[in-house]
Amino acid sequence: MDDRDWELFLLPYEQAVEELKVKFKTMRAELKKREEYAPIEFVTGRVKKISSILDKAKRLDVPRDQLDTGIEDIAGIRIMCQFVEDIRWVAQYIRARKDLTVLYEKDYVTNFKESGYRSFHMIAEYPVQTAFGQKIVLAEIQIRTLAMNFWATIEHSLNYKYRQSLPAPIRDRLKTAAEAAMILDNEMSSIREDILDAQKSFEDEANLVQRVLKDIHRLYFLHKVTEALESQQKFNELWEKQDFIGLQQLGESVRKMRKSGARMVEEEQDE
């Protein structure tokens, strides 16, 4: 058994995973604000378990003193997308980043494995700032659709149970499931525009409600209590009828009252 200090060895990988998760989540938030649609649905990450590292090193014949260069996925990031088309977009965003270096890519979306596994992998070098200086660690970034991720998670669990030797009946059923997942992805792609229009409509309505309620709340602080109460009553009536055109008009009216109230407060302060 390796006598290294595993906690110390894995520390830079843990740091890399946490930092990359934050960065990709931030990228998602920025894309949503800039483009109103982000190809990233959600991001997860993990550091490979010690037993899995040792198993893979044995399987690939990687010497114990070369784990940091011979095992490329000790730090792993998974980026989930809604549609297959989104995978290419996300990969392009990652290639353009200056805080990591993509070494190479493995396209299992176009060239999926015989088992049915589909995913897009990017192996990258990522610099971690440690207490003793910079350390470059390898990280594997997997980009998948939700359907691909569901299938891969199940397959991974079964492979772990059977120690990479799946019984033929289970292997066959997994292939059938992989085909079903591919059909699902293709169907979702075929109605992609309808889905995106529905999601945008939902986002717009949610943002409108938040904006109107926020402006009504501000009226209280501007001493426009009567206007705030009347606006809240009107909001309740419109919300009950799901009248979003009326809510938009109310929002414009409340915004004008808020701006007027803010000017009055400024003028009083100037006096």
Tell me if residue 268 is catalytic. no
Could you say which of 19, 35, 72, 140 is catalytic?
A: 140
| Bridge partners for 145 per DSSP | 81
Backbone phi, psi, residue 125, to 5°: -95, 130
Edge-to-edge strands, sheet with 101-107: 42-47, 75-81, 133-145, 120-130, 101-107
The strand pairing partners of 102, in sequence order, are 124
**CB-side exposure of 66: number of CA atoms within 13 Å?**
8
> Pairing between strand 133-145 and 75-81?
parallel
CA 269 from centre of chain: 46
Looking at the DSSP bridge assignments, the partners of residue 127 are 136
Active site residue ranges: 140
